[in-house]
Chain A
Amino acid sequence: MSLKRLHVLFDDDDILLDAVKEIVKSKIYIHEVYTPFPVHGLDKAMKLKPTNISIATFIYGCIGFTVSILMINYIMIVDWPQDIGGKPSFSYIENMPSFVPIMFELTVFFAAHLMVITFYLRSKLWPFKEAENPDPSTTDDKFLIDMDSGSNLSKTKSMLKKMGAISIKEVKE
């Protein structure tokens, strides 16, 4: 018995959510769900792992903070400790308040930009990337579940129909 892959279309996010829960409960693997907008609770229903991007962002922020301190300390204190308008360039800490705006901005800059780049890399997004969309209507008002058929195709199909699927398409692996 060969496994088939199904593309199931829905036209309502509440129905989609219920269907996803049902499919997960009957232990059929869901490859992907395509929606035109974020559906609250979908990740939980699919039992997806929570994202770690906020932790990565925190680390990027720390890197930016460190870079700013090393840079300012080298330029303003170590390399050429010039007297500029009476600012105390004897040690980093003495002139620290005037460096805070840059420390803050570089922290935010690193955190924000590296986080966005991480997001692009992890979700494989870049210019000229071929769109991976099985059905263009999922960018408009339809919802699509890309799933395995399970061990019993007709049983799965009738279950999906009962749950409110508007179309079920069998696709080749």
Chain B
Amino acid sequence: MTDYKFSTQIKRLSIALIIIGAVGIAFGFYSAPSNVEEAKEIVASMSHGDGHGDSHGGDHGAGHGDGHGEDYGDSHEGDHGAGHGEDYGDSHEGDHGAGHEYDHDKHVFNQLHNKPWAAIYVPALFFMMISLGVLAFYAIQRAAQAGWSIVLYRIMEGITSYLLPGCIFVIIILVFSALKFNHLFIWMDPEVVAHDEIIRNKVGYLNTPFFFARAIVYITGWVLYRNITRRLSLEQDNNNDISIHKKLFRFSAGFLVFFLISESMMSWDWIMSIDPHWFSTLFGWYVFAGMFVSGITTIALITIYLKSQNYLSFVNHSHIHDLGKFMFGVSVFWAYLWFSQFMLIWYSNIPEEVTYFITRIEDYNFLFFGMVVLNLIFPLIVLMNSDFKKTNFIVILTGIVIIIGHYIDVYNMIMPSAVGDMWSFGPGEIGGFLFFLGIFIYVVFKEISKAPILAKGDPYIDESKTYQYYNLD
């Protein structure tokens, strides 16, 4: 067993990703319109043949807003309410009914203006949530006093080291939103709130100072737990004192209580509030399942990579098999929550809730249902077989599919409210993903190289090293 050295290969890869990503992001911002006139030009130059472009190009009256006979108060649609009996009061884009043309252009401008911001917000959230999911997994392993996963603790600790930078990236984007650099969170705009009774009724919760105060509380709690357990875990390496183990257990159990509350509220704040007219009660769980499965998948991918580099001689098929089982089980759990949320809203079809899925099904059809294939059907079929779960190649293949699928999941949560049907996978989106991927890889592998790769002081370490799932050869 040798301790991991931060390889120049990984370093070069991550720096290359960061540079390519930064170029993509810069291009995204460069190509975004800076005023309404430019937005009109961009829309005019867009090919009307391609799926999502044309519903916007022509007569907006035939667009998706009016197709349903009822006005559902769809988030940013400033201009579609005219003439309807029940208007839910989303007049935030200005003059209602009259001045249609102007409203429509302003609306499209806002969407295009949001696009590069949303393109970095999605991967920033996604990678932050991976490391948060791993932190939750780590706390569960500690609190459950699991015997198999001790050999993976250092990898988990490495991944959670991205939590603080990841949260800082998210917070920076949120601060830019609050400073009106973009229009991602419409409730941050006092003009919108003044004309919108629904948001006005939520101002007690959705106001900027309280929003950032909450964010600081979550981040402090998570990072404190992460740093305390990391310090204790390192201390345990040279110390056979059982009291450290007990402390880790108590901190983890306490953290899980805090985590469940803070994670749920985080998902309302950072994700659900992007669409402040909509609400769902199981949203926090849904977001959690997504981050949990992508976190576990990341653990598996990094473990298999490090094992292939001969750093993890003590990790055997049974550990990979267990990670495969978690990937399988939590993928199904994610799909259960996805379906429960979708089906309950689809079934009852209450206008104020169903808009969320109408925009997704109409404008994001392929992505919205495609991600179910990636996140449920593919892992379900491939990882069902016990022999496949212990095969590195298959776990990696499924892992990459799951990671892409859950990136699309976050994309589906953010984009429809931010850019509507103006979405695409351009340089901005791909660059954003690569940029944060590069930072993630750099931070994680740097942290793994800082400590012995085996948490050797843990009382369960021998059990974990010799762990054998009895049914495997």
Contact = CB atoms under 8 A, between A and B. Distances in A.
Interface of A: 40-41, 44, 54, 58, 86, 97-98, 100
Contacts of A98: 343, 347
Nearest to A41: B470
Contact of B343 (A40, A54, A86, A97): A97
Nearest to B339: A100
Nearest to B344: A97
15 contacts: A40-B470, A41-B470, A44-B473, A54-B386, A58-B384, A86-B349, A97-B339, A97-B342, A97-B343, A97-B346, A97-B347, A98-B343, A98-B347, A100-B339, A100-B343
Looking at chain A's contact residues, the main secondary structure is helix
Q: How large is the interface on B (under 10, 10 to 19, 20 to 34, 35 or more residues)?
A: 10 to 19
B390 to A, nearest CB: 14
Interface in B337-382: 339, 342-343, 346-347, 349
A100 B339 CA distance: 9
A29 B84 CA distance: 85
Contacts of A54: 386
Nearest to B342: A97
B131 to A, nearest CB: 33
B321 to A, nearest CB: 15
Nearest to A50: B471
Contacts of B386: 54
Contacts of A97: 339, 342-343, 346-347
B463 to A, nearest CB: 15
A43 to B, nearest CB: 10
Nearest to A44: B473
Contacts of A100: 339, 343
Interface string B313-351: 000000000000000000000000001001100110100
Across the A-B interface, the 5 shortest Cβ-Cβ residue pairs:
A97-B343, A40-B470, A97-B346, A98-B347, A100-B339
A41 B347 CA distance: 50
Given A54-B386, A98-B343, 13 more contacts: A40-B470, A41-B470, A44-B473, A58-B384, A86-B349, A97-B339, A97-B342, A97-B343, A97-B346, A97-B347, A98-B347, A100-B339, A100-B343
A44 B473 CA distance: 9
Contacts of A44: 473
**Which of A41, A58, A97 counts the most chain B CB atoms within 10 A?**
A97
A54 B421 CA distance: 45
Contacts of B349: 86
Contacts of A58: 384
B103 to A, nearest CB: 32
Interface in B401-446: none
A44 B468 CA distance: 14
Nearest to B347: A98
A116 to B, nearest CB: 19
A24 to B, nearest CB: 16
Nearest to B349: A86
A97 B342 CA distance: 9
Contacts of B339: 97, 100
A86 B348 CA distance: 10
Contacts of A86: 349
Contacts of A41: 470
A97 B386 CA distance: 30
